[in-house]
Structure formats: C-alpha cells, structure tokens
Amino acid sequence: MTATLPSLLNPLRLPRRRGWRRALLGLALVPLLGIAGCALLYQGPYLPVQPLPPEPLLDMHCHVAGIGAGGSGCFVSEGMRDSFKFGIYLKSFGVTRRELERDGDGLVVRRVAEQIAASRHVGRAIVLALDGVVDDAGDLDRKRTEIYVPDEFVAPEIARHTNLWFGASVNPYRRDALERLEWAHAHGAKLVKWIPSIMHIDPADERLIPFYRKLVELRLPLLTHAGQERSFTRADDELADPQRLHLPLRLGVTVIAAHVASTGAHDGERDTDRLARLMTQYTNVWTDISSLTQINKLGYLGEALRRPEFRGRLLYGTDFPLINTVTVSPWYFPLNLRFRQMWRLSRIGNPWDRDVALKQALGTPPEVFQQANRLWP
C-alpha cells in the first residue's frame, strides 16, 4: 500500500516531491491566511461535481492483516510490532491487540464487513491477501517478510461475508506458484495482488512467463503496486517501475498498476508519466485512485482525472485502512473545497462514505466510481 497497508505504520514519512510541497502549502494556508486567504486562492474541484451512481460501489483495493491470533497464519515482523506505529495500525482497523488475541484475526475481516454493510455508497470490497518474500528454494522467507497475510486465511474468512470478495496474493517465485494460482481461482479470487518492491518480484523477469500465462488462462487480473514505496524498512523501487510491466501486458495479462504509480521516478522521469505512456500502448492496463487523497499525494487525483491517457482506465479503490488514518482528511484540500464542505466531510463517520464523499467533492466523475463494477460484474 504506499499506498498499501504498511503506509499507516509510517504515515508521516513523506516523499520529497511535488505532492509534499503541496501538502505543506495546503496545511500552512489555513492557519496563516485564514479562511479569507484560502478564498482568494480557491481553485475549486478538479472537475465539475456530479451525482454518484445509483448502484452500490465496489472498492477493489482493501487490505486486512493480522498478528497470527486464532491460527490465522498472518504475521507482522517483530520490529513493526514493537513500534508505537503498531497502535495506529490496529486503530485504523477498529480493533485492539487484546481483542485479536481473544477473538482471532478474523475479527479484522468481520469489522471490515460490518463497516461496509453500514456504508450508504459502497456495497462490496475486494479484500487482499499479501504474500511474502520467497527464498532461493521457493519457500516463504519469514526473516525478510515484514507483513504476511496468507490466502489460506483470507479466502475462508471472506466466504463468511456476502459483501466481501477474495483478492489473492501469490509470489510467482514460490515453487508451487501455479498450483497456488489454481487454488486461489477455485476459491473465488477476483485478482492477484503484488507489491514487487517488498516481495522482491521483478515483473520483467522472463522466468515468470508461465505464471503470466496461467493468469491469462484463469482470467485473473494482476493488481501490482507501481511507484515509490517508503513505508517498509526495505524496498527496491526499481522493481516498481511501470516500464517493467511490458512483459505481462504483451502476454495479455490484465494489469492494474496501483495508485497511478504516484510519487516514484525512474531515469529522470516521473512514474506516473511512464504509466501514462503504457496506457497509450496497451488496452489491458488499468490503474486505480486508491491512496490519491493522502497528504503526500496532493494533486495526483486531479492529474489522474484530467489526463486523457487515464480516461476510461481509472478504478475506484480506497486502500483501506489508510483512509481511516491521519494521512487522509478533507482538511488537506483548502484550495479545492470550501470550509463548510471540509467541515461536513470531516464529520462523516463511516470511512467508506467519507472517502466516496471526499473524492466526489473533488470532482471524481460517476464513470470512475462505476468502472470497477464493470470489470468485475
């Protein structure tokens, strides 16, 4: 998640790029200039605000995690568990460590299902597993894995809830990767999730061709992180370069490059620009707007909505639980929203409804909110 789950473990570690400068500007404007000053610089929403679609929305990018309670098989590395940030991680899911130890990690999934059931706008979510680093023998390397959420935990927990779908995660370097894909498909997986920079996956590696062909055969999209990743203690950003996605795209894999490849750069070029170029070359590449209202990504949502390369290719996602942390707030948009709007949005209790309302107020059109429903009818 840098948009992924561990971002909430380091919510204020911000990149030194345009989004960071805009974040500082946005935060400084309110106290320094006051409401009148913001009114003078007010730009309005990125696009004209339109009504939401009438049908319930699908959040195609939602995370869960666990500590291993109840025999889930999940784990968080010792370094992360000892950090004060671990409390932020738990709070964002609406659970305590004591509750997990008593009720098991399935409680996290249950809380997600309950909050979506209470949402006015979101009716379903794809809940993502997260595989770990694999060693040279093709087995899970726990020492180099910081967060692990196995398919074998997520799939049966999801099956208990009618408003959740299973998002699998399989490291393609596992010795039984193809069998794991078959298992995930048989258990209702809607996609496969990667974070190459922390799972040590090179999407351009030709050894992965059998894996890609299996994805095509099973009609499983690949949701893969693209752009900079700074929320884990170690990350190889070279592996998250959108240009490394040519191989699966040429083989016909439906690829969703997450977060419009925000905040990253390679060869002196922004990753968002590199992803936009891919959009002009392939019809089977998509992206999502999850995490684009985070304080370190101010401006990226507007860019995604306005750029012609992304038109018709944007999917609605939240990157939950990040939307439930201090990294996301309507108060970070004084140049795009009126004070009364920011106040009203900040008082919405349900995190999914708050996310939808914020993105709508910033100009996200109905077709973006609807697109995930069309990809997964």
- Structural domains in the chain (count): 1
pLDDT over 70 (residue 61): yes
Confidence of residue 24 (pLDDT cuts 50, 70, 90): low
The pLDDT tens digits for 270-282 are: 999 999 999 999 9
Confidence of residue 135 (pLDDT cuts 50, 70, 90): very high
The pLDDT value recorded for residue 38 is 66
Report yes or no: 183 and 218 within 8 Å, Cβ to Cβ.
no
Confidence of residue 21 (pLDDT cuts 50, 70, 90): low
Confidence of residue 28 (pLDDT cuts 50, 70, 90): low
* Structural domain for 53, as ranges: 5-375
The pLDDT tens digits for 74-96 are: 999 887 787 767 788 789 999 99
The pLDDT value recorded for residue 11 is 37
Enumerate residues 6+ apart whose C-beta is below 8 A from 308: none
State how far the Cα of 304 lies from the Cα of 314, in Å rounded to an integer.
Answer: 8
Confidence of residue 237 (pLDDT cuts 50, 70, 90): confident
The pLDDT value recorded for residue 87 is 81
Q: Could you write out the DSSP letters of every residue in 187-256?
A: TT--EEEE-HHHHT--TT-GGGHHHHHHHHHHT--EEEE-S---SSS---GGGG-GGGGHHHHHTT--EE
The pLDDT value recorded for residue 9 is 39
In this structure, what CATH number is given to the domain that contains residue 165? 3.20.20.140
pTM over 0.75: yes
